[in-house]
Amino acid sequence: MGVSQDFDSILFGAKRLVRNLAISGRRKLPMREAFVQVDPETLTMDDALRELQLTREQLIDLGILIGTDFNPDGFKGIGPKTALKLIKQHGSIDSIARSKPEFQPPAELERIRSIFLKPEVTSNYALQWREPDVDRLVEFLCGDRDFSEERVRTAVAKAKTGFVQETGKKTLESFFGS
pLDDT of residue 3: 65
pLDDT of residue 169: 57
User: What fold is seen in the domain 53-125?
Assistant: DNA polymerase; domain 1 (1.10.150)
Q: What are phi and psi of 90, to 5 degrees?
A: -110, -20
Task: Give the number of residues written for the chain.
Answer: 178
Summarize pLDDT for 21-49 with one digit per residue, the tens. 765 667 777 778 888 777 788 889 999 99
Give Cβ neighbours of residue 54 (< 8 Å, ≥ 6 apart): 62, 87, 88
Q: What are phi and psi of 5, to 5 degrees?
A: -90, -10
Summarize pLDDT for 96-140 with one digit per residue, the tens. 999 988 888 888 899 999 999 998 888 898 888 777 788 888 888
157-163 long-range contacts, CB within 8 A, separation 24+: 159/132, 160/131, 160/132, 163/129, 163/131, 163/132
Task: Report the predicted TM-score, pTM, of the whole model to 2 decimal places.
Answer: 0.66
What is the rounded distance in angstroms from the CA atom of residue 117 to the CA atom of residue 56?
9
What is the rounded distance in angstroms from the CA atom of residue 106 to the CA atom of residue 113?
11
Nearest of 52, 58, 54, 60 to residue 9 by alpha carbon? 60
Task: Show the CA angle centred on residue 27, arms to residues 24 and 33, nearest 5°.
Answer: 135
In a 13 Å sphere around the CA of 43, the CA atoms on its Cβ side amount to 21
**Domain spans, the chain:** 1-52, 53-125, 134-169
